[in-house]
């Protein structure tokens, strides 16, 4: 069934000028960009987005990294978009990411891991609403 998921091209991949190559992988896999914007997240925005991780030891580094430069946030739409996006991304730790995945090809560390993608329908709904109003999403 058609689903939506939130995707973020993280500061490391934006700095590498890899936005286009990453979006190209989504499009080639049949996912459509239905919303997109570039943002330089504030500390408050990053902390709120990653609130579920606030008690983890890596939270400070995660927020520091996600506010270190601009990101591209997008809504992707398509059949099984959530799982399809996670398959394209590969494992969170790029050292464990399968060959040919976005993280294997563009990421260098578990923090600087190129992309974020929603991990469930519930988080997709929350994460999309965190960044986009319904008037900013263009179904296609
Ligand atoms: P992301 O999918 O954006 O969700 C939370 C992020 O925390 C994750 O990608 C990683 O970049 C980062 N992170 C850092 N250390 C860890 C860890 N030990 N486990 C999971 N995520 C981590």
Average pLDDT of every residue of the chain: 98
pLDDT of residue 1 exceeding 90:
no
Half-sphere CA count of 50, side-chain side, radius 13 A: 25
pLDDT of residue 140 exceeding 90:
no
CA-based Rg of the chain, rounded to a whole angstrom? 14
Q: Are 85 and 7 in contact (CB under 8 A)?
A: yes
pLDDT band at 102 (very low <50, low <70, confident <90, very high): very high
pLDDT band at 81 (very low <50, low <70, confident <90, very high): very high
Residue 130: in which H helix or E strand, if any? helix 121-131
CA of 140 to the centre of ligand 1 (A): 31
Residue 42 is given by DSSP the state: -
Mean local confidence (pLDDT), 51-80: 98
53 is catalytic: no
CA of 3 to the centre of ligand 1 (A): 23
Residue located nearest, by CA, to atom 4 of ligand 1: 116
* SS3 of residue 18 by DSSP: coil
Q: Are 35 and 129 in contact (CB under 8 A)?
A: no
- Per-residue confidence (pLDDT) for residue 75, from 0 to 100: 98
Q: What is the DSSP string of 53-119?
A: GTTSTTHHHHHHHHTSS-EEEEEEEEETHHHHHHHHH--SSGGGSPTTSHHHHH--SSSS-SEEE--
103 has binding-site annotation: yes
Strand arrangement of the beta sheet that strand 32-39 belongs to: 32-39, 71-79, 2-9, 115-117
Percent of the chain with pLDDT over 90: 98
Note the pLDDT tens digit of each residue in 5-56: 999 999 999 999 999 999 999 999 999 999 999 999 999 999 999 999 999 9
Q: C-alpha angle 80/100/13, rounded to 5°?
A: 85
């Amino acid at each position: 069934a058609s689903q939506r998921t939130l995707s973020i091209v993280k500061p490391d991949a934006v700095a590498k000028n890899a936005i286009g190559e990453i979006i190209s992988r989504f499009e080639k896999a049949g996912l459509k960009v239905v919303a997109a914007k570039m943002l330089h997240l504030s500390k408050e925005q990053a902390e709120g987005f990653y609130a579920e991780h606030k008690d983890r030891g890596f939270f400070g580094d995660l927020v520091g990294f996600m506010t270190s430069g601009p990101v591209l946030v997008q809504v992707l739409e398509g059949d099984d978009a959530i799982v399809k996006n996670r398959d394209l991304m590969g494992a969170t730790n790029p050292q464990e990411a399968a060959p040919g995945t976005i993280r294997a090809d563009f990421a260098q560390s578990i923090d600087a891991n190129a992309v974020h993608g929603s991990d469930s329908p519930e988080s997709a709904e929350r994460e999309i609403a965190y960044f986009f109003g319904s008037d900013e999403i263009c179904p296609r």
